[in-house]
Structure 1
């Protein structure tokens, strides 16, 4: 139950005698875009969830959005990245949003999945070319989409879902066997 529903329920129980009930309810009707941390707003995290869901979609296992990948990325960028990488990531996220809206006239999260996938595939090609052009420069800042992909993979495959559903998992393994035959289509083992 959200705050608005709770206030309505209390108003009904009290017969609408709460002074200023309309003011309370109207205060809840506006969608607020609040900060998640010093770098990201809730809308940024929601966009990162959508991007992660294109990178690792839901199939027979839950996708990246199901593990809250946007929040994970926001936390990792704030807590673990150097300032120049933080700037590359946040500027890149803003660029992704603006470029998508300019190219498609719609926001990323409202566009059809095929359109979003094609856009991110083109962005992936761009980041690979950027990486090749800057591979000899040790001080080059990584392309923002490469950072997004890396964080999506890291967050997903270290989550409970990634370890227990996307990969084979034995909570209490037996002895170590160095050579186990692999059959095509087998999931990788979680560690």
Structure 2
């Protein structure tokens, strides 16, 4: 699967444009600032792995945690996201944990799987509503200030998109969740489809 196709698929599945998509297609080649790689701690990565595992849990194939998607997220946010989205993402780790405490009276790391799932389902709805209004709000702000840089994206949308991108480009995602064929391989112009077949990697 080509990178461009994967980004389109993730955008369709998450109901929004792939955040950082241009940087991903052209290559994340911005020069890192001093201290930029200390934006996330090991605890942040562990937290993000648990969020990712709730989105893509282990079944017959490894889940997102086995692919260490939390580490992938931190690299992508640091290297490919705009400053406003980096800040929103980092703050989002705290906001997600606070939302879990508010909803379930416990932090996300101590929450039960069903509590985590109900929280992320609610956050997904919240993120979709926010993204739907984001354009209107930005337009209003630009009428006041033509140099307004725009609002950040919702942190949960970023987490969800990066979970999918990280998982389906990982070794576990490509070789076990998808049908993997090494390239170059043989060409087959017509492949019969059976219900339940995996997508091609």
Give the TM-score category using the shorter length.
0.7 to 0.9
In the other structure, the counterpart of 1:125 is 125
Q: Does 1:150 align with 2:161?
A: yes
How many residues are matched? 156
- Going from structure 1 to structure 2, the CA distance change for 1:63 and 1:178 (only over 3 Å counts) comes to same
Runs (5+) with no aligned partner, structure 1: 1-34
Q: How far apart are residue 132 of structure 1 and its match? A: 1.4
Q: Deviations over 1:38-73 (max 9, x none)?
A: 211111111100000011000000000001111111
Matched, 1:168 2:168: no
2-side partners of 1:65 and 1:172: how far apart?
27
For each residue in 1:86-140, what CA deviation from the matched residue of structure 2 results, as whole angstroms up to 9, or x when unmatched? 0111111111112212332212121110000000000001111111112454833
Q: What secondary structure does 2:66 align onto?
A: helix
**TM-score, length basis structure 1:** 0.75
Cα distance change, pair 36–156 in 1 and its aligned pair in 2 (3 A)? farther
Match of 2:15 in 1: none
Q: Matched residues in 2 for 1:54 and 1:153: separation? A: 12
Distance in 1, Cα, partners of 2:131 & 2:192: 35
1:38·1:78 contact (CA, 8 Å) conserved in 2? no
Is 2:88–2:152's contact at 8 Å kept on the other side of the alignment? yes
TM-score by length of 2: 0.72
Q: Which residue of 2 aligns with 1:113?
A: 113
* RMSD between aligned residues: 2.0
Asked if the contact 2:103–2:119 (Cα under 8 Å) also holds between the matched residues in 1, the reply is no
**3-state SS of paired residue (2:85):** helix
* Larger Rg belongs to: 1
Bigger relative contact order, structure 1 or 2, given CA contacts below 8 A and separation 6+? Answer: 2
**Quick check: 172-181 or 157-166, which moved more?**
172-181
Q: Following the alignment from structure 2 to structure 1, what is the Cα–Cα distance between the partners of residues 101 and 158?
A: 21
Seen in structure 2, the aligned counterparts of structure 1 residues 154 and 91 have a Cα distance that, compared at 3 Å, is same
